[in-house]
Amino acid sequence: MRLKQYRVTNFRSVDDSGPIDVDDVTALIGTNESGKTNLLLPLWKLKPAKGGEISATADYPRKHYNDFRNLEEKPRFVEATFEIPTDLARQLSSLSPFPIEMFDEVVVIKTLDDQVSVNFPNVKPPRQLPQARISELLDACRSEIESATALKSEIELKTNIINAIDQALAMVAGQSEIGADTLQNAHCDFG
């Protein structure tokens, strides 16, 4: 895989590098102590050959140290976009229902607590559900809201929500599958 672009955030002296495009030859130019190493070190820590653990005292930004050390989920410090070679894209495609063209790049993100996520930004699965499942979910919501006891100030809102669910049920009736685009374009008035 070939690195195309990366971004460093919340790492040592770097708040946000912005996207850094990478080519066959890429140069980082700056005076001593300007932060060049702090832009390169996260790439090494993304998948180090040896060592490379995150050290809170060394790697957290000093101005956010107290905030970050108390967070359960630490923020990301590096995000790298790689170009996937055709052979690997073909293998990924064969393991999924998606065409090879969707596997042209991968984004790898690492957080300050060493959690790694891998995303394929161009894989866009069709988002559809059978009409029966959507109707079932809407009916369950309607029943739950109907059985809830509303405060005097919430009676009108409860009625509006039930009416909106009825509108949604009418909208999906008669369709075999409902796509995400249909649901996103639906507008239910809550009053």
Look at residue 188 in the predicted model and tell me its pLDDT: 54
Residue 49 has pLDDT above 90, yes or no: no
- Residue 168 and residue 149 share a domain: yes
- Residue 163 and residue 98 share a domain: no
User: What is the tens place of the pLDDT at every residue in 106-153?
Assistant: 999 999 998 999 999 999 877 777 788 888 888 999 999 999 998 999
- Residue 16 and residue 109 share a domain: yes
Look at residue 72 in the predicted model and tell me its pLDDT: 87
What tokens appear for 169 in the block? 């049920």
Fill in the DSSP letter of residue 126: -
User: What is the tens place of the pLDDT at every residue in 146-155?
Assistant: 999 989 998 9
User: What is the tens place of the pLDDT at every residue in 53-67?
Assistant: 888 888 888 888 888
pLDDT above 70 as % of the chain: 93
- Bridge-partner residues for 16, per DSSP? 9
Fill in the DSSP letter of residue 174: T
- Bridge-partner residues for 51, per DSSP? none
Q: Are 65 and 13 in contact (CB under 8 A)?
A: no
Nearest-10 Cα torsion for 182, 183, 184, 187: 100
d(CA 90, CA 81): 18
Look at residue 185 in the predicted model and tell me its pLDDT: 61
Query: At which of 99, 119, 139 does a domain end?
Result: 119
Residue 190 has pLDDT above 60, yes or no: no
- Residue 72 and residue 14 share a domain: yes
Q: Are 41 and 53 in contact (CB under 8 A)?
A: no
Residue 115 lies in a domain: yes
Count of the separate structural domains present in the chain: 2
- Residue 60 and residue 139 share a domain: no
Look at residue 80 in the predicted model and tell me its pLDDT: 97
* 76-83 and 2-11 beta bridge pairing: antiparallel
> What is the chain's mean pLDDT, rounded?
88
Query: At which of 79, 96, 119 does a domain end?
Result: 119
Model-level pTM?
Answer: 0.66
CATH of the domain at 6: 3.40.50
User: What is the tens place of the pLDDT at every residue in 68-89?
Assistant: 888 888 999 999 999 999 999 9
Domain span at 20 = 2-119
- Residue 93 and residue 44 share a domain: yes
Q: Coil, helix or strand for 89?
A: helix
